[in-house]
Amino acid sequence: MSDFRKYLPGPELNKIAGPTARAHGDARLGSPRAQGLFGTWKKLFEAPFRGITTSGSAMPGLFLLQPDGAPVAAICDAAENLVALLTSAQKQSMMFPVDSPMWRHWQNTELYVEDYGLRLDAVDANIREAVMRVIRASLSQQGYDMSRNVMRLNRFLGDLVGGPEVLGEWSYTFCLFGNPSTELPWGWQFFGHHLCFHCLLVDGQMTLTPSFMGAEPAFADEGPFSGIRMFEDEEKAGLALMRAFDSEQQTQAIVAYSLMGGDLPEGRRHFADNLHLGGAFQDNRIVPYEGLAAPDMSKQQRDSLMSLIDKYLVPLPDGPLQARRQEIEKHLQDTHFCWIGGTDEESPFYYRVQSPVIFIEFDHHAGVFLTNERPEKFHVHTIVRTPNGNDYGIDLLRQHYQNSPHHKHDHG
């Protein structure tokens, strides 16, 4: 990874706009660009949910309601322990009905603008620890470690740019949807700068998308978090797959060679999302397939594609991970891989893996708090979604209400 230190901002370029997260958020929201972004998000949020699709309508019958060994009892215990610690005002602020549209109200900027949820840097340490126990119970050990490292790198960035109150280890918001239960559907949401998870539990089954992980910079070279490195596996496996293609396959996979302009389709790059298409509030985006289809790959290349996808399933605990893998393998023939950027060791790049049941994006970003105007390998964003209507487990929840005898909406 290239050195980020030459891009540390001086006082005139520093983006920290206030001494606290609230003050910073308020100041930043005064800018026309932020107002435009949040205005667009509001419109997108108000549209009924369809899911990311290739055509505007979701393919039916893709997702099966069946137990997958999700650790529901352990997650439920951890969540009940958390709720027992909360005041009635805190509960009211962070608990929503299981089918609430607020599932879709998340964002991955550092701007603290929400007036709901449990904000971890504003609650007692025992409540914070109880929240993290819910997340730990829900994820694999590696997934939990990854999420904690994203949080630590957020603080590392805060220290680098002199804004630890804005970019902190605990600058994250947690919400519950439905009441913790081993029988009825419920779930949780966790979001903030560079880290967002949505976990729905329904009939012994788990979904964990949309999920977002990123870091600027993606490694810490000093201080208490020195030695943490993120996203190397996702970067190396993507590049290795691209390089395993012959020149004809590469030509098919490449959408554009330039990340910034040049041959990049007009409007493809966005100031907030860079090259991501599946970012916050893009729940209904139409994203046609691009690039190289799996049937045009060799058996070995398809195996490499599957092992790349595996890097993004890591946060799931064992049962849900195996179930998700089978679901993806079932649609491997309809899976597409596309690429933007160069393919040498130094080149930053973007890639997407897309099928009827999985949507993965990896993007090297330009600086937000650091000053690099072009994408660099030390700033990474990754997104995983479930297209065709099952982000937030919405399709499974719909099936649950269709099929379950009690038809009870347990609205907390």
> Strand pairing of 359-364 and 254-256?
unpaired
Q: What global pTM score does this model have?
A: 0.97
Mean pLDDT over 325-330 rounds to: 98
**In the predicted model, is pLDDT for residue 405 greater than 80?**
no
**Angstrom distance (rounded) from CA 76 to CA 42:** 32
Give me the torsion for CA of 77, 78, 79, 80, rounded to 10°: 50
Q: Position of tokens 């949020």?
A: 45
**In the predicted model, is pLDDT for residue 166 greater than 70?**
yes
**In the predicted model, is pLDDT for residue 410 greater than 90?**
no
Percentage above 90 pLDDT, the chain: 97
In the prediction, which pLDDT does 129 show? 98
In the prediction, which pLDDT does 126 show? 98
Q: For 374-395, what is each residue's pLDDT tens digit?
A: 999 999 999 999 999 999 999 9
Give me the torsion for CA of 211, 311, 154, 350, rounded to 10°: -80
pLDDT tier for residue 407 given thresholds of 50, 70 and 90: low
Percentage above 70 pLDDT, the chain: 98
Give me the torsion for CA of 260, 266, 263, 337, rounded to 10°: 90
Q: For 60-83, what is each residue's pLDDT tens digit?
A: 999 999 999 999 999 999 999 999
In the prediction, which pLDDT does 411 show? 42
Q: Position of tokens 């491997």?
A: 332
Q: What DSSP character marks residue 179?
A: -
Least confident of 1-10, 142-151, 280-289, 401-410: 401-410
**Angstrom distance (rounded) from CA 195 to CA 173:** 10
Mean pLDDT over 163-177 rounds to: 98
